[in-house]
């Protein structure tokens, strides 16, 4: 084995000497820096690279100093740089929180309630730091509730065809019964016809049949959506045809395109029923997939079962379809309410609800259904107004005009 030593000022000079005298096949056996400060490199031309020994041809570019002290210093500098970068990021957030303490508290409170961090930062951008925490939170709460889209469709008052669409198990059939009960109390049993297109789930038709028998209203099971054209005489002028549909997965909704064949033949309005128990990603997929049904409004069910209602409201804020009703229990009448975004916002933030949904006088529902004609027919204009209509929201800054940027 041919071994040679080279002395140089640094590793670059040593590698130049090795390249000139030994060629690219030389193997670096060791390197150390002497007491005089010169670097001594031992190389061999004949030996094959052993474990832990670098080939000059392979590692000439990335070899770097092999001096133990210098290598340890490099590792220490690299670790120190990483630590400084981490501390810098934390320091920036802490500094922002120190400059905007009210906004930081609001962001933390919103995220704890399930609202997305992006939404929390956007809302906190309008918090005024020169006020009290109660005032800042009141403005933010009002701003949040006012930003949730609501809808006020006229189909319930004027009559027409109304179909409920949505995923399996969200409560479409129960919602249909609740809407029918409201219509019976307003206009009498002659103003409602129940229709179902769900021929897959027998229980859905039986549930409608049981309700129809108690309420004294007709219930029809149709073969296909084209049969709706024969029911146009039952819709309009205060008469309502409520249509139940088969539940379907969100991925199938876009392919099926429900009611696409009869859109031009019948005047049909659709509402999308969604559950508050859906995770945000699932809810976004449902909202996107059922756009092919052209929903005019949303009905939110199972509010009482949602672990974090703020997660659901965050998704509703991202889209334009307005909320018209929500349900928060199993009772047919008492747990079905018109949309009240302030109440839902307080519920999501786990705050005391200053304005709970109005409750109807409690009485056996069978009695209400068996004697629907005895219920007074009250004009729609004289119905009890929604709590939201009596609520004057504070003047708040629009989303685009933030007083300071969130971190």
DSSP summary character for residue 22:
H
| Rounded Cα gap, residues 274 and 360, in angstroms | 24
Report pLDDT for 202.
Answer: 66
Q: Which of 38-52, 365-379, 389-403 has the highest mean pLDDT?
A: 38-52
49 alpha carbon, distance to own chain's centre: 58
Q: What is the DSSP letter of 389?
A: G
221: enclosing H helix or E strand: strand 219-221
Mean pLDDT score of the chain: 76
pLDDT higher than threshold 90 for residue 31: no
Kindly compute the dihedral angle of the four CA atoms of residues 21, 27, 33, 35, in this order, to the nearest 10 degrees.
-70
pLDDT above 50 for 368? no
Given a contact cutoff of 8 angstroms between Cβ atoms, the answer to whether 277 and 305 are in contact is yes
> Is the CB of residue 129 less than 8 Å from the CB of residue 102?
yes
What is the Cβ-side half-sphere exposure of residue 11, based on CA atoms within 13 angstroms? 16
SS (H, E, C) 271-315: EEEEECCCCHHHHHHHHHHHHHHCCCEEEEECHHHCCCHHHHHHH
Identify the band that residue 336 occupies on the pLDDT scale cut at 50, 70 and 90: very high
**What pLDDT, on a 0 to 100 scale, did the predictor assign at position 285?**
92
Give the model's pLDDT for residue 172: 92
What average pLDDT score do residues 132-152 get?
A: 88
Identify the pLDDT of residue 399: 32
Q: For the chain, what's the residue count?
A: 407
Confidence at 23, pLDDT banded by 50, 70, 90: confident
Confidence (pLDDT) at 46? 58
Q: 271: which strand partners?
A: 164, 297
In this model, does residue 55 exceed pLDDT 60? no
Mean pLDDT computed over 35-50: 68
Predicted pLDDT of residue 341: 94
Q: CA distances (Å), 159 to each of 156, 234, 266, 323, in order?
A: 5, 9, 13, 19
The band of 316, judged by pLDDT with boundaries at 50, 70 and 90, is very high
What DSSP state is assigned to residue 337?
Answer: E
pLDDT of res. 406: 39
* Distance, C-alpha 62 to centroid of its chain: 48
Looking at per-residue confidence, does 169 or 406 come out higher?
169
Cα torsion angle, 347, 351, 352, 355, sign: negative
User: Residue 268's beta-bridge partner residues?
Assistant: 161
Most confidently modeled range among 82-91, 172-181, 232-241, 381-390: 172-181
Which residue matches tokens 């090795």?
A: 18
Separation between Cα atoms, residue 359 and residue 294, nearest integer Å: 32
Give the CA angle between residues 196, 279, 151 to the nearest 5°. 55
Reported confidence tier of residue 300, pLDDT bands at 50, 70, 90: very high
pTM, whole model, 2 decimals?
Answer: 0.64
pLDDT in tens, 64-115: 455 677 777 777 777 777 776 666 655 666 777 777 788 888 888 888 888 9
Give 200-224 pLDDT, tens digit per residue.
776 778 888 899 999 899 999 887 8
**Poorest-pLDDT segment among 5-14, 113-122, 317-326:** 5-14
Helix (H, G, I), strand (E, B) or coil at 269: strand
Q: Quick one: tokens of 282?
A: 């699932």
To the nearest 10°, report the CA torsion of 211, 244, 178, 299.
160
Cβ atoms 290, 165 nearer than 8 A? yes
Residues 6+ away with beta carbon under 8 Å from 213: none
The burial class, CB within 10 Å (0-12 / 13-18 / 19+), for 45 is: middle
Query: What is the percent of the chain where pLDDT is above 70?
Result: 75
Identify which of 131-135, 316-320, 348-352 has the greatest average pLDDT. Answer: 316-320
* pLDDT surpassing 80 at residue 366: no
357 or 372: which carries more pLDDT confidence? 357
At 309 the pLDDT is 93
- Which one is predicted more confidently, 168 or 80? 168
Lay out the sheet containing 219-221: strands in order across: 219-221, 192-196, 240-244, 160-166, 268-275, 297-301, 323-327, 336-338
Residues 264-268 have a mean pLDDT of 82
Angstrom CA distances, 93 to 72, 101, 207, stand at 32, 11, 55
Domains of the chain with bracketed CATH: 3-66 (no CATH), 77-147 (no CATH), 155-338+356-390 (3.40.50.300)
The arithmetic mean of pLDDT across residues 273-300, rounded, is 92
pLDDT tier for residue 146 given thresholds of 50, 70 and 90: very high
Instruction: Please state the rounded mean pLDDT for residues 381-386.
Output: 36
Find which of 60-69, 77-86, 147-156, 233-242 is predicted with most confidence, using mean pLDDT: 147-156
What gap in Å lies between CA 13 and CA 38, rounded to an integer? Answer: 11
């Amino acid at each position: 084995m041919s071994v040679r030593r080279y002395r140089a000022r640094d590793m670059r000079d040593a590698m130049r000497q090795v390249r000139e005298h030994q060629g690219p096949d030389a193997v670096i056996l060791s390197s150390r820096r002497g007491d005089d400060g010169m670097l001594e490199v031992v190389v061999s031309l004949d030996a094959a690279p052993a474990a832990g020994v670098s080939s000059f041809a392979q590692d000439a570019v990335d070899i770097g100093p092999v001096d133990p002290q210098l290598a340890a210093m490099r590792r220490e500098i690299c670790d120190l740089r990483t630590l400084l970068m981490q501390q810098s990021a934390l320091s920036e957030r802490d500094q922002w929180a120190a400059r905007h303490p009210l906004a930081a508290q609001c962001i933390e409170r919103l995220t704890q309630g399930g609202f997305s961090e992006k939404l929390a930062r956007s809302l906190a951008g309008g918090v005024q730091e020169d006020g009290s925490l109660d005032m800042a939170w009141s403005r933010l709460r009002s701003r949040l509730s006012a930003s949730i889209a609501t809808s006020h469709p006229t189909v319930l008052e004027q009559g027409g065809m109304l179909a409920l669409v949505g995923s399996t198990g969200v409560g479409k059939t129960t919602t249909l019964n609740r809407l029918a009960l409201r219509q019976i109390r307003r206009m009498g049993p002659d103003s409602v016809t129940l229709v179902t297109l769900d021929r897959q789930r027998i229980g859905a038709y039986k549930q409608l049949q049981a309700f129809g028998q108690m309420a004294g209203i007709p219930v029809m099971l149709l073969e296909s959506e084209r049969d709706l054209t024969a029911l146009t005489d039952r819709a309009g002028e205060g008469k309502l045809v409520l249509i139940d549909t088969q539940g379907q997965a969100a991925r199938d909704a876009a392919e099926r395109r429900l009611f696409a064949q009869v859109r031009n033949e019948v005047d049909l309005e659709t509402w999308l029923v969604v559950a508050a128990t859906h995770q945000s990603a699932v809810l976004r997929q449902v909202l996107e997939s059922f756009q092919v049904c052209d929903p005019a409004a949303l009905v939110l069910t199972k509010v009482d079962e949602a672990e974090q209602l703020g997660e659901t409201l965050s998704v509703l804020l991202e889209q334009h379809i307005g909320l018209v009703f929500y349900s928060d229990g199993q009772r047919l009448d008492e747990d079905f309410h018109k949309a009240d975004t302030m109440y839902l916002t307080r519920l999501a933030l786990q705050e005391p609800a200053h304005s709970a949904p109005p409750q109807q006088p409690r009485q056996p529902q069978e009695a209400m259904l068996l004697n629907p004609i005895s219920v007074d027919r009250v004009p729609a204009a004289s119905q009890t107004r929604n709590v939201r209509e009596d609520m004057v929201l504070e003047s708040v800054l629009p989303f685009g005009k933030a007083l300071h940027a969130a971190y």
